[in-house]
């Protein structure tokens, strides 16, 4: 990928996004590939702090939706500016966020318009694999894990991604991350960058 461009990396919980991202940073460092990984949520918190002294992600989540949308737009603008510095910017974020009130687009049109991504990556694993990872993940204090929920999340993530692809004209790439294959997944992503 040409320097100064933006790749978005997403994956539902249990798909192994963090693992792949860590591998990606490690390999890129080793081979001297200039990438900059930015966490979208962290950028939002930074802007919230500057604007109004909000300090935690959880505080943002309890603010009115228009405020949150405004934060998203500003975070997208800030990240888009980073491409001016010539590096490849990797945005660590969500294609879809599942909450009690439904599936939220992680990349709604007001974000896409500012961020102008050049590539959308969906890190995926088999529903059975995701089920196993979620079931053994003690840190997340999840609700009961259901296979049908996992399948639905994968389906919705893809549908949201297709919309992103139509709105921007950028490709949607599915990167498979089966158990123990995070190095291969990271290498596959590196080839695209």
Q: Which residues bind a copy of itself (CB under 8 A)?
A: 2, 64-65, 69, 72, 99-105, 107-110, 112, 118-121, 152, 155-156, 158-174, 192
Nearer to a copy of itself by C-beta: 37 or 174? Answer: 174
**What kind and span of H or E run contains 176?**
strand 172-176
Give the β-pairing of 102-105 and 96-99. Answer: antiparallel
Q: How far is the CB of 90 from a copy of itself (least distance, A)?
A: 15
Q: How far is the CB of 156 from a copy of itself (least distance, A)?
A: 6
187 C-beta neighbours (distance < 10 Å), count: 14
Nearer to a copy of itself by C-beta: 92 or 124? Answer: 124
Nearer to a copy of itself by C-beta: 54 or 193? Answer: 193
Nearer to a copy of itself by C-beta: 172 or 185? Answer: 172
**Alpha-carbon gap, residue 84 to 38, rounded angstroms:** 14
**3-state SS track over 80-142:** HHHHHHCCEEEEECCCEEEECCEEEECCCHHHHHHHCCCEEEEEECCHHHHHHHHHHCCCCCC
Q: Phi/psi class of residue 122: alpha, beta or left (left: φ > 0; alpha: ψ in -120 to 50)?
A: beta
Q: How far is the CB of 67 from a copy of itself (least distance, A)?
A: 12
Q: How far is the CB of 83 from a copy of itself (least distance, A)?
A: 14
Q: How far is the CB of 119 from a copy of itself (least distance, A)?
A: 7
Nearer to a copy of itself by C-beta: 137 or 166? Answer: 166
CA-based max dimension of the chain? 44
């Amino acid at each position: 990928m040409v320097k100064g461009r933006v790749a978005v990396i997403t994956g539902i919980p249990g798909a192994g996004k963090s693992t792949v991202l860590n591998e990606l940073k490690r390999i890129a460092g080793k081979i001297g590939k200039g990438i900059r990984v930015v966490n979208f949520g962290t950028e939002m918190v930074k802007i919230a702090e500057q604007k109004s002294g909000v300090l935690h992600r959880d505080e943002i989540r309890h603010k009115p939706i228009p405020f949150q949308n405004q934060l998203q737009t500003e975070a997208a603008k800030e990240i888009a500016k980073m491409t001016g510095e010539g590096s490849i910017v990797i945005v660590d974020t969500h294609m879809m966020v599942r909450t009690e009130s439904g599936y939220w687009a992680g990349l709604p049109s007001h974000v896409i318009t500012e961020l102008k991504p050049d590539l959308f990556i969906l890190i995926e694993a088999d529903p059975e694999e995701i089920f196993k990872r979620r079931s053994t993940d003690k840190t997340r204090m999840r609700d009961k894990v259901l296979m049908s929920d996992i399948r639905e999340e994968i389906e919705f993530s893809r549908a949201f991604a297709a919309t992103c692809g139509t709105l921007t004209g950028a490709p949607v790439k599915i990167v498979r991350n089966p158990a123990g294959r995070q190095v291969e997944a990271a290498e596959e992503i590196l080839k695209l960058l």
